[in-house]
A and B are shown apart, each in its own frame.
Chain A
Amino acid sequence: MNITKTLDAKGLACPMPIVKTKKAIEGIESGQILEVVATDAGAKSDLTAWCKSSGHELVNINDDQGVFTFYIKKG
């Protein structure tokens, strides 16, 4: 997977992971991948729901002992 941009949202609580993700994704092209690293447990369900409502594709989520890595393909 070709990652275009990485966003470190570790240690941030809601709503910041999504606020920053939204801003970061504005800077890449449709079809490119944004990697988001977050530690907030709520980010998992919220990022999933946000991708669905905003037309982006959540390609994959890795959960490494409470550190979540999201791969989002811009829609």
Chain B
Amino acid sequence: MAIKTMNVQEVAKRVVNKEELFILDVRNEDAYADWKIEGDNFDYLNVPYFDLIDGIEPIQNKVPTDRDIAVVCAKGGSSEFVGEQLVEAGFNNVYSLEGGMKAWSEHLEPVKIADLNGGGELFQFVRLGKGCLSYMVISDGEAATIDAVRMADVFINFAKEKGATITHAFDTHLHADHISGGREIAEKTGATYWLPPKDATEVQFDFKPLEDGEDVQIGSSKISVQALYSPGHTIGSTSFIVDDQYLMSGDILFVDSIGRPDLAGLADDWVGDLRETLYKRYKELSNELFVLPAHFMTNIELNDDGSVGEKLGKLYEENHGLNVGDEKEFRSMVTENLPPQPNSYQEIRETNMGKISPETEEKREMEIGPNRCAVK
């Protein structure tokens, strides 16, 4: 009997709705320890597929019969192999995750954040597998992306379905944890690709420099995307205020953590900038602004509808990283005991600068693993 498959949309739905799922992860132990599918009500068992080639006896009594089981591997081949053996052994609640962790890493879930002035709309694209968040502002047949991730066609097609053309692609900074889709979107649609010039000194392609105070109108209904220089995660990091209500904070401020200043190798230099952005520049803004970051770290940060965001005022009350009064303590918090750096982050930065041009398959490999852009 052939094994049934489960797609990443179904797994995403279960994560957001906090439903149950038993994950049998058959990747090797290092890969599993580094990164897995996170769900509040998921249970896990990790046994590498190569320990199950002769049969599933080692796990026969560890796999439940009363719940759905998703067998997960890197690309979907080994999960099918193990899943088929489970089916043969009489388990009828077994599914193989189609495309494995690669598909999980690439899945984007669009969530509507708000209606904007004059019929405009704001969407957040949640990349559950990697914790990346991208945005699209749509207004009057025009669209702008902010921090679009590598899967450029998802954004281009989404805009098309909404009857809009992407005219601007913004990146808040030069990303180190994932490959930006901004450049590809610009090449395919003719949109303008904006990058903060201080992050782009080594960039090998044409872009429009994004300066502090720049105000770009999207559509004739005049939804403004205002740039606010906010260094600290990188020296060029720039935030956006959309429609006077939404603050895209990039990798500077997250819901439950703050940005780390070390991914371009200059933690000690940039910690002062980070402090000034979080404790001064952002503090001068309205507490009513709704903060929309470029990442989340854990599912605790997901709202009930699967989106991620919170009012700036609430973050000043509750986010630990905004409440470290002592400067020295802050400095040591963001420069010492940092989590490991994202996988392949140097190659990812070089790709985003256009210095290297890996094939799609190589890009996928580079992006394996969680984002790790924050300190808590």
Contacts and interface: CB of A to CB of B under 8 A. Distances in A.
A15 B352 CA distance: 33
A64 to B, nearest CB: 16
A46 interface: yes
A26 B238 CA distance: 59
A18 interface: yes
A53 B361 CA distance: 28
A49 B29 contact: yes
B75 A19 contact: no
Interface in B13-42: 28-31
Interface in B31-85: 31, 48-51, 53, 73-75, 77-78, 81
A45 B50 contact: no
Contact of A45 (B31, B49, B81): B31
B53 A14 contact: no
Nearest to A50: B50
Interface residues of A, number: 15
Contacts of B77: 13-16
A45 B49 CA distance: 13
B365 interface: yes
Interface residues of B, number: 17
Nearest to A42: B74
A26 to B, nearest CB: 11
Contact of B81 (A15, A50, A53): A15
Given A42-B74, A42-B75, A15 B50 contact: yes
A22 B53 contact: yes
Given A15-B77, A22-B53, A53 B48 contact: yes
B53 A18 contact: yes
In terms of DSSP, what is the predominant structure of the interface of chain B? helix
A41 interface: yes
Nearest to B361: A41
A45 B73 CA distance: 13
A46 B51 CA distance: 11
In terms of DSSP, what is the predominant structure of the interface of chain A? helix
A14 to B, nearest CB: 5
Interface string A1-29: 00000000000011110110010000000
A39 B361 CA distance: 12
Contacts of B51: 53
A49 B75 contact: no
A22 B50 contact: yes
Nearest to B26: A15
A13 B75 contact: yes
Contacts of A54: 50
A15 B53 contact: yes
Contacts of B74: 14, 42
- Select the residue from B30, B50, B73, B74 with max chain A CB neighbours within 10 A: B50
A22 B49 CA distance: 12
- Select the residue from A15, A46, A53 with max chain B CB neighbours within 10 A: A15
B44 to A, nearest CB: 18
A46 B75 contact: no
B50 A18 contact: yes
A14 B49 contact: yes
Nearest to A46: B28
A19 B48 contact: no
Contacts of A42: 74-75
Contacts of B49: 14-15, 18
Given A14-B75, A42-B74, A42-B75, A49 B30 contact: yes
A66 to B, nearest CB: 9
Contacts of A46: 28, 48, 50
20 contacts: A14-B74, A14-B75, A14-B78, A15-B49, A15-B53, A15-B81, A18-B50, A18-B53, A19-B53, A22-B50, A22-B53, A41-B361, A41-B365, A45-B28, A45-B30, A46-B48, A46-B50, A50-B28, A50-B50, A54-B50
| 3 A-B pairs with the lowest CB-CB distances in the bound complex, closest first | A49-B28, A15-B78, A50-B50
Given A16-B77, A42-B75, A46-B48, 4 more contacts: A14-B49, A18-B49, A50-B28, A53-B48
